[in-house]
Amino acid sequence: MKFNLTQPLPTNEIVDNQIYTYPTLSHISDTPVIKRSKSCNKISTNSLSAFFRTRSTRRKGRHPLSRPNSPTPTPIPSRLPSVSSSLKFPQEEEFSFYSTCSELESLPSLTDDEDGDEDEDYSPLTTPEQQRVFHYPCPAPVSKVNLLNKLQAEQTKISIFEIPEIVNKILNYVDLQYTDLPQEVPPVRRRPLSYNHAMLIHGTKEMAEKSLLQPQNQVIAHKNPLFNCLSVNKLFHKISKEIISHKCYFDSEDKFKRYLQVINSPNTIKFRPKVFILHKLFQTRQSYLDAFVKHTNFEKLEWLEIYMCPKLFPCSKIISQSGPNLKKLVITGSKSMDDDALIAIAKRCPNLSTLDLRACEQISNFGVYQLSKHCHNLCSINFGRKNRGYFITDSSIVSLIRSNPNLHTIGLAGTDISDRSIWEIANSCRWLERLSLNNCPRLTDMGMPVIISNPKYFPRLSVLELRFSNITNWKPIIEFKRRQEAKGLIMIIELCEKLMLRIRQQELEMDKMISQRIFKDILEWVNNDEDDGDISFHELMKQRATNAMM
């Protein structure tokens, strides 16, 4: 049996140790000493080293050695020698300590295993790495159960802002609350034409001046917070980008051109709009719109608005892709919109509910008549214009009114319609709320005054525009207004300055006549000769005078 030539610890001679036979000091001095490896030591509880060890140090020393696939644990070399009672350190007094057990029990066996090779030497410097045990300090005892519970709690704890469905609801609400769409606000009343006109409408100087200072067109403008949501995190960025892509609008020519320059960039938002608005792009040509349409998908388009863009009109790709999904079409002030474009829209978009073609002077009876054949769900139409009003007459308007009985807003200002169209509107459109008949020279007293004198017509009408009309009989119109106000509806009648003066005079005459009737009824009631059980006025005065004398 071979032994490692390491210096042994002193042992008590009383205890007979049969494990090792230590060589003499002379032999040890001639043999080079091999330095010990810094591995784990196993020290007896009866040794002096164990006496000076702390609780934490003892806890570390009690860790068992795990050797896989080995039934017998292999001893590990000790890091420090045990101190016996006969050990004396330099420059120290002699210290005696008695132990009933040999301190050699704290030493690991440095011999070969019984089943191992006898020629193989083991040394602390050559201890196999799989047999070494390293201890790392732990600041505090950790329970496996507590650690597992903590990890499970961290995994199951999810914020509501990490759930895509909830974030989608939140951002959709933000989009609805702060919609930033450039569109004109429908005014409560049109701006007065002059100061006298304002005085006739409002009656007071302060209100008249305020109405003249008020801007005619107010544009809705909000700062959209969805752009700030893009920088919150990846989830917010993805959902915000998707919501923003559903609304595409440009109110500046420079912005529209700059977008076309970077439209091929991978970082540019690719629109799949439900709403597409071009607002007051006066100088933008059709070629710019065609370039935009090539890179945009309009399959989900529901609202198309080209407001005051005289050089633009919707190309065939927009109409063909949107198709039945298109519900609202607003094209105002376009010099390119004609009957052919209107017919294509009518055939491809049968579900239109709102159609606004103001100041599109190329449209005539032919296009409007084709519209009446294909579109039967219209709720709002407007063909108002200033020039070429003779292009639209009763022949097309009557057909359009008959095919769309659910209309609640009709604008026919500047057209060449007559009383025939008004009678058709009264018979077909029972739920009409707004009617614009400004500057219709063929309207007479046999139309609107006669119709509204009958309470069964226009029960919900609240706005009636009759500027620059040839109507002279205003009494039925005043009575209609008072009848609507008695039902709780706020009735607004828009007139020019000349007609407003006439209607004010008519109202004064009607008020005088009503006052005279009231006084006449009172006098008849007071001076009635029939015996109704009351004494006459003269007898009442005499009776009071007699009572005063007594």
- Name the CA dihedral angle for 171, 176, 179, 184, rounded to a multiple of 10 degrees: 170
Q: Among 24-28, 392-396, 440-444, which is the least confidently predicted range?
A: 24-28
SS3 278: strand
pTM: 0.66
Percent over 90 (pLDDT), the chain: 48
- Signed CA dihedral, 32, 35, 41, 43: sign only: positive
**For residues 103 and 109, what is the distance between their CA atoms, to the nearest angstrom?**
13
Answer yes or no: is pLDDT of 204 > 60: yes
Instruction: Report the pLDDT value the prediction gives residue 549, as an integer from 0 to 100.
Output: 76
Rounded to the nearest 5 degrees, what angle is found at the Cα of 44, between the Cα atoms of 42 and 47? Answer: 125
Q: Among 56-60, 198-202, 344-348, which is the least confidently predicted range?
A: 56-60
Answer yes or no: is pLDDT of 542 > 50: yes
**For residues 511 and 516, what is the distance between their CA atoms, to the nearest angstrom?**
9
SS (H, E, C) 485-532: HHCCCCCEEECCHHHHHHHHHHHHHHHHHHHHHHHHHHHHHHCCCCCC
Mean pLDDT in residue range 391-411 = 96
**For residues 351 and 433, what is the distance between their CA atoms, to the nearest angstrom?**
21
Residue with tokens 């076309």: 260
Instruction: Report the pLDDT value the prediction gives residue 111, as an integer from 0 to 100.
Output: 46
Residue predicted with more confidence, 402 or 109? 402
> Model confidence at 451, in pLDDT bands (50, 70, 90)?
very high
Looking at every residue in the chain, the average pLDDT score rounds to 79
Residues 6+ apart with CB under 8 A from 209: 198
Q: Among 3-17, 167-181, 417-431, which is the least confidently predicted range?
A: 3-17
Instruction: Report the pLDDT value the prediction gives residue 13, as an integer from 0 to 100.
Output: 52
**For residues 111 and 122, what is the distance between their CA atoms, to the nearest angstrom?**
7
Residues 6+ apart with CB under 8 A from 410: 380, 381, 382, 401, 425, 429, 432, 434, 435, 436
Backbone angles phi, psi at 323, to 5 degrees: 55, -130
Answer yes or no: is pLDDT of 114 > 50: no
> Model confidence at 228, in pLDDT bands (50, 70, 90)?
confident
pLDDT digits (tens, 9 = 90+) for 267-309: 777 889 999 999 999 999 999 999 999 999 999 999 999 999 9
> Model confidence at 7, in pLDDT bands (50, 70, 90)?
low
Residue predicted with more confidence, 113 or 150? 150
Answer yes or no: is pLDDT of 445 > 90: yes
Q: Among 232-236, 345-349, 398-402, which is the least confidently predicted range?
A: 232-236
> Model confidence at 81, in pLDDT bands (50, 70, 90)?
very low
pLDDT digits (tens, 9 = 90+) for 256-266: 999 999 888 87
Per-residue CA distances from 229 to 12, 172, 175, 237, 537 (Å): 81, 12, 11, 7, 83
SS3 464: strand
Tokens of 145: 């159960």
Q: Are residues 258 and 229 in contact, defined by beta-carbon separation less than 8 angstroms?
A: no
Instruction: Report the pLDDT value the prediction gives residue 86, as an integer from 0 to 100.
Output: 45
